[in-house]
Amino acid sequence: MRVAMYYNNRDVRIEEMQTPQIGQGELLVKVRASGICGSDVMEWYRIKKAPLVLGHEIAGEIVAIGEGVKRFRVGDRVTVAHHVPCNTCHYCLNGHYSVCDTLRTTNFYPGGFSEYLRIPQINVDRGTFILPDEISFEEGTFAEPLACTFLGQKKANFRPGQSLLVIGSGISGLLHIQLARALGAGRIYAVDITDYRLKMAKQCGADIAINAKEDVPASIRTSNNGRLADLVIVCTGAPPAIQQAFSSVDRGGSILFFAPTEPAAITPMNLWDLWRNCNSIIMSYAGPPDDTATSLELIRAGRVKVRDLITHRLPLAETALGFKLVAEAKDSIKVIIEPQR
């Protein structure tokens, strides 16, 4: 089978691999669509394991079933979570699925930018979901990123009517805007450095789009009864964006750091201001199975219109171009690779 082998952001090659052989309790899935995630182009993170086949936002069709599999049939349309929790460790039992050792080590093989995937037994058990008839394969690739988004807002205790500031209007930021609008947000502000993404933010439900070079706190106060944002969601690891978050959150408000910085980055914080203003700092990573199920229902019901976020659909042979588009972060939002083309 063909795969797109990642060496670095500028070197993604189409290579041949043997189609995976499945064992007891496993599935073989023909990949119909695979989204390029922003984390796929975090070169400092990915380069350590290169060469490898990336891609974790997938949807496809089951073409073979291992012995003992009862819930699925050949021909089922599915989306599959690459990371799944054990559900039995200390962290899972306390609701912290994202830090479960099992979640951090599970994966399907070899990766979504390939023609076929082997789904391990544990992923079959708790990470494989039938796509409703109303959801296309390309829409199904959003189940994983939307689940991450849903978990983040849940951890931040986001409530209807609250004002929201999203810093970074790439795919993660736009999903946060759409989800918050679906969940009854009050006024939504979006910040980015590019006009293209600010325009997309408005289309996704932001009330006001602000260029990052402007006085963001002043813009929020002007249209929010003199107050800053109840919740600030940071969807970029850029240091200026992080500092902007601290200056844009209202008293009693929260900051959700949804995107990571590089491991060695040091972020200065004024703890006095955070303490005095009773602000909360929240981190969020991944999305457990129940949030994936919720995401699929939000997509099926049309509450989050993920199709509107797809700007490019490319065959597997053009995966390198897809990585270039996502890494440049200019006139693209979600790039979908179609491995069967």
pLDDT (tens digit per residue) in 200-254: 999 999 999 999 999 999 999 999 999 999 999 999 999 999 999 999 999 999 9
Q: What is the mean pLDDT of the chain?
A: 96
Q: What burial letters (b/e) apply to 188-204, b meaning 16+ CB within 10 Å? A: bbbbbbeeebbebbbeb
**Do 130 and 163 lie in a common domain?**
no
Distance separating alpha carbons of residues 297 and 304, to the nearest angstrom: 9
**Do 109 and 201 lie in a common domain?**
no
Q: What are phi and psi of 29, to 5 degrees?
A: -115, 130
Distance separating alpha carbons of residues 322 and 302, to the nearest angstrom: 26
- 266: pLDDT confidence band, cut at 50, 70 and 90? confident
How many separate domains does the chain show? Answer: 2
In-domain check, residue 150: no
In-domain check, residue 17: yes
- 38: pLDDT confidence band, cut at 50, 70 and 90? very high
**Do 245 and 316 lie in a common domain?**
no
Question: CATH number for the domain including 39?
Answer: 3.90.180.10
Q: Which of 236, 262, 283 is the last residue of a domain?
A: 283
**Do 265 and 178 lie in a common domain?**
yes
**Do 299 and 173 lie in a common domain?**
no
Number of CB atoms found within 10 A of residue 291's CB? 22
In-domain check, residue 66: yes
In-domain check, residue 93: yes
- Note the pTM of the prediction, 2 decimals: 0.96
Q: Which of 265, 283, 301 is the last residue of a domain?
A: 283
**Do 311 and 223 lie in a common domain?**
no
Give tens-digit pLDDT for 130-181. 999 999 999 999 999 999 999 999 999 999 999 999 999 999 999 999 999 9
State the pLDDT at residue 273.
Answer: 94
**Do 22 and 127 lie in a common domain?**
yes
Nearest of 119, 129, 34 to residue 340 by alpha carbon: 34
Question: CATH number for the domain including 240?
Answer: 3.40.50.720
In-domain check, residue 152: no
State the pLDDT at residue 265.
Answer: 85
**Do 52 and 182 lie in a common domain?**
no
Distance separating alpha carbons of residues 85 and 22, to the nearest angstrom: 21
The residue type of 29 is V
Give tens-digit pLDDT for 67-124. 999 999 999 999 999 999 999 999 999 999 999 999 999 999 999 999 999 999 999 9
The DSSP result for 246-267, as a single string, is: HHHEEEEEEEEE-SPPPTT---
**Do 139 and 18 lie in a common domain?**
yes
- Residues in a beta bridge with 60: 31, 78
Pairing of strands 229-234, 11-16: unpaired
In-domain check, residue 77: yes
**Do 20 and 63 lie in a common domain?**
yes
Distance separating alpha carbons of residues 100 and 104, to the nearest angstrom: 6
> 91: which residues sit within 8 A by CB, 6+ positions away?
97, 99, 100
**Do 131 and 167 lie in a common domain?**
no
In-domain check, residue 151: no
In terms of Cβ atoms closer than 10 Å to its own Cβ (0-12, 13-18, 19+), residue 137 is: buried
Q: Which of 241, 256, 283 is the last residue of a domain?
A: 283
| Residue 64 domain boundaries | 2-144+287-338
Alpha helices for the chain (secondary structure H): 43-46, 90-93, 101-105, 121-126, 137-140, 143-155, 171-182, 195-203, 216-223, 239-248, 271-276, 289-300, 319-328
Is 244 strand, coil or helix?
helix
**Do 118 and 197 lie in a common domain?**
no
In-domain check, residue 232: yes
State the pLDDT at residue 173.
Answer: 98
- Residues in a beta bridge with 229: 249
Give tens-digit pLDDT for 280-304. 999 999 998 899 999 999 999 999 9
